[in-house]
Amino acid sequence: MTGSIGILTAGGDSPGLNAAIRAISRSAAADGRQVIGFRDGFRGLMENRTVRLSSDVVSGILTAGGTLLGTSRDKPHKMPVGSRTLDMREKMAEVYEANHLDVLICLGGGGTQKNAFGLMEQGLNVITVPKTIDNDVYGTDVTFGFDTALGIATEAVDRLHSTAHSHHRIIVLEVMGHNTGWLALGAGIAGGADVILMPEIPYDFDVVAQAVLRRSQAGKNFSIVAVAEGAVSREGSQELAEARSRIAAADSKQERKEAKAELAERQSDQVGNTLRLTRGLEERTGLESRLTILGHVQRGGTPSAGDRLLATRLGTACVELVREQTYGVMVASRGDGVEAVPLEEVIGKRKVVPGDHPWVASARSVGVCLGD
């Protein structure tokens, strides 16, 4: 007898999740398979909180933002249970068996790929689908959620132009991206930002200030600065690199613990970088500066047509892999097609913006300052 397909969404919410859930459910129904959704990510799997994803349940969710199933950032091997943190992977394996699942499909970002791999090591058949607005999952051309967030961030840059021009201000726009600058770079280029700062290229404060002053001296009475939340100065980047090197060089467990604590402190020091940048630009240029933090607005609302198409394409490809009994893989986008990438090739890696990426070259060619 054909078993059921389990599905969960984990990590941050992302536009297109419902489109992927719908695609998997409808494709599986064509095979006569039942699809069981687990609520609130891996915690719902551990607690066996389920919903049967019938045609009626997934009807009308294609254009809805968020996720029908709910999500959480709980990790299977570090699950808060009462006052303790426990490894609940064996319990999740029991729930998997109790529901007679052939496979568990996990929709999520880099952390979800790693957590799914941990369940695979417990003997579960797993397939993952890459989603995140940061577009930083290794091994895939693009993640669904990115296109929608890119459109929202670009529209924000567009709208800020008018107020920056009217008030002769520097407007600093912070977009998401703790570790990568895909969103800031894409929105900055598409929206015509004058300065783009991202984690991959540590910035020199003086270089940024001089770029703004050159515009002012040329008669341009405003500037737009697009910043990824994880962008750091050269000094900050050096401090973080030194802290990480001390972790790598630690000879004992205690030394490693102390080095990790130092890194955490250094990372905490970087919080508020964008506000400091805004105030510093005002001081150095003499131009009125304002900060806008886009925040979770980037995650919300109706997914773009591009994200609906991508999520549907990856979702239906998942079911095709189930038919072929191909497990332990991530369904990656490759051009107009898909590729099954082994999870061990994905975990522990991150897709960052290369210094020679065409977007970087294009930004420099049109005179955008990247802070270096």
Active site residues: 134
> Rounded distance, CA 131 to CA 150, Å?
14
Beta bridge partners of 291: 172
Rg, C-alpha atoms of the chain: 22
> Rounded distance, CA 258 to CA 250, Å?
9
Nearest to 29 by CA among 61, 50, 5: 5
Nearest to 96 by CA among 124, 134, 59: 124
CA distances from 141 to 12, 31, 207, 217 (A): 20, 29, 32, 41
Cβ within 8 Å of residue 102, ≥6 positions away:
2, 3, 4, 5, 33, 125, 322
Residue pair 10/111 in contact by the 8 Å Cβ criterion: yes
| Residue matched to tokens 């536009």 | 15
Q: How many CB atoms lie within 10 A of CB 357?
A: 14
Amino acid 99 reads N
Q: How many CB atoms lie within 10 A of CB 100?
A: 13
Q: Output phi, psi for 347, to 5 deg.
A: -65, 145
